Chains A and B, each alone.
Chain A
Amino acid sequence: MEGNFLPILFILDGSRSIGAFPDHPEVEGGGSTVMVMCGIIGVMDRSRRTMDGSGIRQALSMMNERGSGEGAGYAAYGIYPDYRDCYALHVFFDNVRENKPLLESTLAQWGTVEHDEAIPTYGQPNLRAVHTPWRYFFKPDASLAPPGSATPEDDIVSALVMQVNAARRGALIFSSGKDLGVFKAGGWPEDVADFYRIEDYEGYIWLAHNRYPTNTPGWWGGAHPFNLLGWSVVHNGEITSYGTNRRYIESLGYTCTMYTDTEVVAYLVDLLVRRHGLDVDIAVRALAPPFWEEIDRMPAAEREWNSALRLAYASAMMNGPFAIVAANRDMMVGFTDRTKLRPMIVGECGDRLYISSEEAAIRAMEPRVESIRMPAAGEPVIGRVVA
């Protein structure tokens, strides 16, 4: 529904109204402030025309300087048209023989598996396969949701993901949306892409991440993208408010299990957008709100709701340096921390919107890119599909 009345290219944050593409891109927050490197890129085709994974593989490898060969991943939307009504659960098994029956008995309690199979993988010399990736196309039994639930199926799948991942019984559900999938592993982007042969998948939104882990190297679950239901997130940075954010989100029924800060972003977006029904630009504003000094200068009505947003979501606010690209089936959103301590570049070409850490990555994918700009600190970039 969000897509059909929005022919606008970008819904930009109103209060900081900046024209679509200024002639002189702001240089604030450019590459010079980068401290830790992670490379992120997202691409969306507004008319849902699909792209195979070879382009994003190429783009991500342009940012190998931002990674360390210990983790990379891709998320693609629109890749499972045959099962578009099923939740595609991507699972890492430590040991298929031992862990799979246990997971399947849990799935059977909550719904029906329409189809399942090993995710095809192709051995790479530089990638040690520590897990077996599997996928289930799952239909939850809506009647099992708690009464009064506005999104019964989502609630079941979300609770299922939390339960399975917290139990740590050799099965980790790392992707749980409809008609989308996350493909990730420990290794260089090209190796991970070749391991899954992502060029065999056709998606209209792709997110990708090249990891330079400092926290949990080698752990496949710690690679990006992070996904819950429809939302996937890639992130460059370190969330200094993680302790506050995690305790907040866990008090509301989520469980953090991935040993890394980005996970919390996916849950916060799910909470604010799906469960609390905030528009995505307002949700982003809750996560990276204006300073009080700016709020105090706003006209009364605007000041009122902006203050309320900061008060109500004080613990959801994210601090520390970050650039984040998040997507669901209808949109892609990029935003940075309030002082922009991580780079974020936006490119556009025809129906395609690109958001990345580096211009080079965008140009690798789209040599004829029509415009390139750097949004200001905290200014979200939101692109929505029109079809």
Chain B
Amino acid sequence: MIGSLPSRYRISIDPVRCMECGRCIENCSYGVFSRDGDRIQVNSRNCTACHRCIACCPRDAIGIEEHPCDYRSHPLWTREARESIYNQARTGKIILAGMGNALDYPVIFDRLVLDACQVTNPSLDPLREPIELVTHLGKRPARLDLLRREGGDVELKTRLTPNLRIETPVMIGHMSYGAISLNAQVAMARAAKETGTYMGTGEGGLHAALHPYQDRMIVQVASGRFGVNIDYLERGAAVEIKIGQGAKPGIGGHLPGEKVCAEISRTRMIPEGSDAISPAPHHDIYSIEDLAQLVRGLKEATEWKKPVFVKIAAVHNVAAIAAGIARSPADAVVIDGFRGGTGAAPTVFRDHVGIPIEAAVASVDKKLRDQGIRNEISVIASGGIRGSADVAKAIALGADAVYIGTAALAAMGCRVCGNCYRGLCPWGIATQRPDLVARLNPNEASEQVANLIRAWTLELAELLGAAGINSIESLRGNRDRLRGYMLDESLMEVLDVRGVGA
């Protein structure tokens, strides 16, 4: 026998404050609250700390405490280690989890500090001087052939492949219809359009409700090929081949059948209620040359009018893989670090496979420079970008732009409870249950996401100005403007940064 494990959370309702309005009962999709005569009954064991009840309680009457009863403390046999064992001893199955890596690895971003000007050069003031955050993503020629005509006019002889222009180096990453609700996708797509950036479709196809925003959508081609046809490719502003993702490198996407409702089945072109488990590899890509073929194939299909990105998970050999991708006609390589979120991933992958985005971007940028091809491809960093400082640091380490995922969801209310795979998201984000989806108002949510991007954009302009830089491309790969604080020497070498005071 294993018996009951200690409850993870303890909910308390302050009887003095509670007015028994029942909003907590209505809002909790996990069944924590129920009415028992004239009082509210609590089943703490069902709680996920999604905070929906707290957000809706008009009287601030609800309290949530984490780990009210702990195990005997032990540095090795942590609570998580023991509970996984109990769980698997009971079921014999792989444990699933949502969101990003939950192990206590040091956060490299938090050990890097940014620079500012004092005296020897003036810091710039974005209120009074132009600071350019406009970013272009796509292939670049190594040099230009410019012809000077008589009379001085200059003619460009080099043909440039189409680039994506973003007004700020922050894009919204790929979260599929299926993993998240249509309302959530519509809200983010609208925000992307409003803020002059782009958003990924994920591997769930493009629902007709998103067609008005299609010129701001990057359509994804993943190993399951869900929703992919020529109409889909032609609608997107760019195409992204997903080889892997940071939350689960080496395996394909997981969409539990519970989430596959009629609309999703139509958009993905799969039977209703069936699990959508993407194959681990693309079955037409078993080598780098196969990938180059698919890139070319997608370019041909879209008449070489659209940039093609390739997304890979940050794994140990990420730099060499990125260099291989740079040699294909691909326009950008997306590196997804091991903190990248997901709707559902085996916990063992989420927590143990892959490397941090900071180190991955630094080594990719360096490898591409060593081979003299850095300028020919864009690098997009993703996986654990929490704020404008992370964006600035990722760019200084060598990225052109970033994708955000969890941050955009949080802007819509998500509390990062990590139960996305259960399809019961009380915020209407990671669910397909119509009553829950209806809770997310796309107008309101799109404004929140747009606000977040605007706020980061303002902060980035301030950070750049303080560093005496008036254009984002002068920050890219500018490791001189970073210092490592309490980072070990080997990591500083990988990041190519000096320590504080050096």
> Which residue numbers of A lie inside 8 Å of B, CB to CB?
14, 33, 35-36, 214, 237-238, 240-244, 246-248, 250-252, 276, 278-279, 282, 291-293, 301-302, 304-305, 308-315, 317-321, 338-339, 341
Kindly state whether residue B15 has any CB partner on chain A within 8 Å.
no
- Could you give 17 example pairs across A and B, Cβ below 8 Å? A238-B120, A238-B468, A240-B117, A243-B396, A244-B476, A248-B374, A251-B369, A279-B148, A292-B134, A308-B160, A309-B144, A312-B143, A313-B144, A315-B375, A320-B468, A339-B124, A339-B470
Chain B contacts for A238, CB-based, 8 A = 120-121, 468
Min CB gap A50→B, angstroms: 31
Kindly state whether residue B127 has any CB partner on chain A within 8 Å.
no
Min CB gap A327→B, angstroms: 21
- Please, how many angstroms separate the alpha-carbon atoms of A305 and B152 in the complex? 13
Min CB gap A239→B, angstroms: 9
Q: Do A291 and B481 contact each other (CB < 8 Å), given the known contacts A278-B146, A314-B473, A317-B473?
A: no
B141 x A312 contact (CB < 8 A): yes
B474 x A312 contact (CB < 8 A): no
Chain A contacts for B474, CB-based, 8 A = 240-241, 244, 317-319
- Please, how many angstroms separate the alpha-carbon atoms of A242 and B480 in the complex? 8
Min CB gap A325→B, angstroms: 19
* A36 (CB) vs chain B CBs: closest residue: B120
> Which residue of B129, B374, B396 is within 8 Å of A339 (Cβ)?
B129
> Which residue numbers of B lie inside 8 Å of A, CB to CB?
117, 119-122, 124, 129-130, 132, 134, 136, 140-144, 146, 148, 152-156, 158, 160, 163, 369-372, 374-375, 396, 467-471, 473-481
Q: Do A315 and B473 contact each other (CB < 8 Å), given the known contacts A36-B120, A242-B480, A321-B122?
A: yes
A319 x B468 contact (CB < 8 A): yes
A308 x B369 contact (CB < 8 A): no
Most chain A beta-carbon neighbours within 10 Å: one of B122, B163, B369:
B122
**Given A36-B121, A251-B370, 13 additional A-B pairs, CB 8 A:** A242-B480, A244-B477, A279-B146, A292-B134, A301-B156, A304-B156, A305-B156, A309-B146, A312-B140, A314-B476, A319-B469, A319-B470, A321-B468
Chain B contacts for A317, CB-based, 8 A = 471, 473-474
A252 x B372 contact (CB < 8 A): yes
- Please, how many angstroms separate the alpha-carbon atoms of A244 and B369 in the complex? 11
Chain B contacts for A242, CB-based, 8 A = 478, 480
B375 x A312 contact (CB < 8 A): yes
Chain B contacts for A251, CB-based, 8 A = 369-372, 374
Q: Do A308 and B158 contact each other (CB < 8 Å), given the known contacts A242-B480, A248-B375, A339-B129?
A: yes
Main secondary structure on B side of the interface with A: loop
Chain A contacts for B371, CB-based, 8 A = 251
* A241 (CB) vs chain B CBs: closest residue: B474
A243 x B477 contact (CB < 8 A): yes
- Please, how many angstroms separate the alpha-carbon atoms of A278 and B146 in the complex? 7
- Please, how many angstroms separate the alpha-carbon atoms of A359 and B135 in the complex? 39
- Please, how many angstroms separate the alpha-carbon atoms of A349 and B124 in the complex? 36
> Which residue of A240, A278, A309, A315 is within 8 Å of B477 (Cβ)?
A315
- Please, how many angstroms separate the alpha-carbon atoms of A278 and B121 in the complex? 30
- Please, how many angstroms separate the alpha-carbon atoms of A325 and B474 in the complex? 21
Min CB gap A207→B, angstroms: 22
- Please, how many angstroms separate the alpha-carbon atoms of A318 and B53 in the complex? 53
Min CB gap B3→A, angstroms: 59
Chain A contacts for B124, CB-based, 8 A = 339
A301 x B155 contact (CB < 8 A): yes
A282 x B154 contact (CB < 8 A): yes
A292 x B470 contact (CB < 8 A): no
A320 x B369 contact (CB < 8 A): no
Chain B contacts for A313, CB-based, 8 A = 144
Chain B contacts for A291, CB-based, 8 A = 130, 132
Most chain B beta-carbon neighbours within 10 Å: one of A244, A246, A338:
A244
Min CB gap A378→B, angstroms: 11
Min CB gap A255→B, angstroms: 13
B473 x A282 contact (CB < 8 A): no
- Please, how many angstroms separate the alpha-carbon atoms of A338 and B375 in the complex? 22
- Please, how many angstroms separate the alpha-carbon atoms of A341 and B153 in the complex? 29
Min CB gap B473→A, angstroms: 4
Chain A contacts for B370, CB-based, 8 A = 251
Q: Do A240 and B154 contact each other (CB < 8 Å), given the known contacts A305-B146, A315-B477, A321-B122?
A: no
Chain A contacts for B478, CB-based, 8 A = 241-244
- Please, how many angstroms separate the alpha-carbon atoms of A291 and B369 in the complex? 26
B122 x A35 contact (CB < 8 A): yes
Min CB gap A293→B, angstroms: 7
- Please, how many angstroms separate the alpha-carbon atoms of A214 and B134 in the complex? 32
A14 x B468 contact (CB < 8 A): no
3 A-B pairs closest in CB distance: A243-B480, A241-B474, A243-B478
Chain A contacts for B475, CB-based, 8 A = 241, 244
A308 x B481 contact (CB < 8 A): no
Min CB gap A196→B, angstroms: 29
Min CB gap B373→A, angstroms: 8
* B496 (CB) vs chain A CBs: closest residue: A247
> Which residue of B146, B153, B372, B468 is within 8 Å of A240 (Cβ)?
B468
- Please, how many angstroms separate the alpha-carbon atoms of A3 and B477 in the complex? 39
Min CB gap B479→A, angstroms: 5
- Please, how many angstroms separate the alpha-carbon atoms of A317 and B160 in the complex? 19
Chain A contacts for B117, CB-based, 8 A = 240
Chain B contacts for A248, CB-based, 8 A = 369, 374-375, 477
* A246 (CB) vs chain B CBs: closest residue: B480
Chain A contacts for B163, CB-based, 8 A = 311
B160 x A311 contact (CB < 8 A): yes
A301 x B468 contact (CB < 8 A): no
> Which residue of B121, B375, B471, B473 is within 8 Å of A321 (Cβ)?
B121
B144 x A314 contact (CB < 8 A): no
Q: Do A292 and B132 contact each other (CB < 8 Å), given the known contacts A36-B120, A305-B156?
A: yes
Chain A contacts for B143, CB-based, 8 A = 276, 312
Chain A contacts for B146, CB-based, 8 A = 278-279, 282, 305, 309
Min CB gap B44→A, angstroms: 52
> Which residue of A214, A243, A301, A310 is within 8 Å of B479 (Cβ)?
A243
Min CB gap B307→A, angstroms: 13
Chain B contacts for A304, CB-based, 8 A = 156
- Please, how many angstroms separate the alpha-carbon atoms of A324 and B122 in the complex? 17
A311 x B155 contact (CB < 8 A): no
Q: Do A247 and B121 contact each other (CB < 8 Å), given the known contacts A238-B468, A241-B474?
A: no
Chain A contacts for B479, CB-based, 8 A = 243, 247
A33 x B122 contact (CB < 8 A): yes
* B398 (CB) vs chain A CBs: closest residue: A247
Chain B contacts for A315, CB-based, 8 A = 374-375, 473, 476-477
Chain A contacts for B142, CB-based, 8 A = 312
* A302 (CB) vs chain B CBs: closest residue: B154
Chain A contacts for B156, CB-based, 8 A = 301, 304-305, 308
- Please, how many angstroms separate the alpha-carbon atoms of A36 and B122 in the complex? 9
> Which residue of A243, A314, A338 is within 8 Å of B470 (Cβ)?
A338
Min CB gap B469→A, angstroms: 5
Chain A contacts for B375, CB-based, 8 A = 248, 312, 314-315
- Please, how many angstroms separate the alpha-carbon atoms of A1 and B479 in the complex? 41
A305 x B480 contact (CB < 8 A): no
